[in-house]
Amino acid sequence: MLSRRAIRVKVMQTVYAHEQDREKTVERLEKAMLENINNSVRCFLYQLYLLCKTAEYVVTDVQIRSSKFIPSEEDRNLSVSLFHNPVIQHLVVTENLYQEIHREKLDLRIDADNFRHFFQKLRKSDEYQSYHRKENPLLTDDREILAFLYKNILTTDELFEQNLEDVFPAWQDDRELIFHAVMNYISHAAPNREPHVVREARDLKELKHFAAELLRKTIFNEPDTEVIISSFLQHWDRERVAMMDMLLMKMAVTEWLYFPEIPTKVTINEYIELAKLYSTPKSGEFVNGILDAILKKLKEEDRIQKMGRGTKEN
């Protein structure tokens, strides 16, 4: 599922759009952002679906090869363990992922022959050959083969890429955050866990609330955060400070001042990472230095009031 960092990216993109076109109302920006979040979650579920359907094709492959008039030795020793992979079975059976994809009519957006294509590429790999020969693979083995399938087969394939672009026009913008979301799911998947992926995809209230609040408070409090940040840029050419660096620092200061439940260290670490990912090569170091100085000053002035989880600095 999308992380808080992914949500911050969505807000960052929306605030950037606001900087480019201030004629758009905050209400319109917020509506577009929330729909963007919905589509990103649908894209996340869709990619899990593609993963499952590719794994499922092993059943068809075994049926075809075992029915040959003169099957080879390899044909006689086939396994459908990939589809019986407990992570796959958890998604298909426990999570009811296929039903959710059908409800969204996303199962109609891909040619079934694509799954044959993806699986045939996987079947030729040493990783797959090693996996399907194991009689009782460990959960770590199950996760590793799915991570390999997703990272090295699906996301590097032109058919996969073209399909995602056709179904989700914003795929290029979402590529990194959804890739990490899927890999994170595979790495931490617990087959015995109660179903939560589809349920959380439908119920995004908390994430959407955080996104809307961060967007509105960043925009409405921009004059104040601009003054705070500018006072620490006296020895910098203001025109040479990257717009994205300034935007991210405004969001960080907004979190410190208006989100008492978020620890200050969480905020500064998140925006340093976003600066590294989305701004210039030196932005991480620059944003780190400026935000560290701002945080020290705000604490001295007793302007940061944290409560609950926000009081935890580690």
User: What tokens were used for 190?
Assistant: 């617990």
- Hey, what are 75's tokens? 């044909």
Residue 103 is assigned to a structural domain of this protein: yes
Task: Give burial (CB, 10 Å; 0-12/13-18/19+) of 271.
Answer: buried
Domain boundary among 156, 176, 205: 205
62 and 93, same domain (yes or no)? yes
Domain boundary among 176, 205, 234: 205
Average pLDDT over residues 213-223: 97
Asked if 207 and 6 count as a contact pair (C-beta separation under 8 A), the reply is: no
Residue 280's domain is classified under what CATH number? 1.10.940.10
Tokens 């076109």, residue located: 21
Q: Per residue in 135-180, pLDDT tens? A: 899 999 999 999 999 999 999 999 999 999 999 999 998 998 899 9
Whole-number pLDDT of residue 314: 43
**pLDDT tens for each residue of 229-245:** 999 998 777 666 899 99
Pair (280, 155) in one structural domain: no
Q: Is 214 domain-assigned?
A: no
Q: Is residue 46 part of a domain?
A: yes
| Alpha carbon distance 186, 98 (integer Å) | 17
Of 177, 205, 233, which residue is a domain's last? 205
The answer as to whether 213 is a domain residue is no
Phi, psi at 262, each rounded to 5°? -100, 120
Based on the fold, state whether residues 124 and 170 are members of the same structural domain. yes
Residue 211 falls within a domain, yes or no? no
Domain span at residue 253 reads 221-311
Within a domain: 41: yes
Model confidence at 70, pLDDT cuts 50, 70, 90, reads: low
Q: Indicate if 253 and 190 belong to the same structural domain.
A: no
Spatial contact of 203 and 32, defined as CB atoms under 8 Å apart: no
Q: Per mean pLDDT, which range of 83-87, 171-175, 236-240, 277-281 is the poorest? A: 236-240
197 and 250 share a domain? no
pTM: 0.87
Q: Looking at the domain assignment, is residue 121 inside a domain?
A: yes
Q: Which two tokens stand for residue 308?
A: 């609950």
Neighbours of 64 (CB within 10 A): 12
pLDDT of 17-47, one tens digit each? 999 988 889 999 999 999 999 999 999 999 9
With a cut of 70, say whether residue 69 has pLDDT above it. Answer: no
Start-to-end Cα distance in the chain: 24
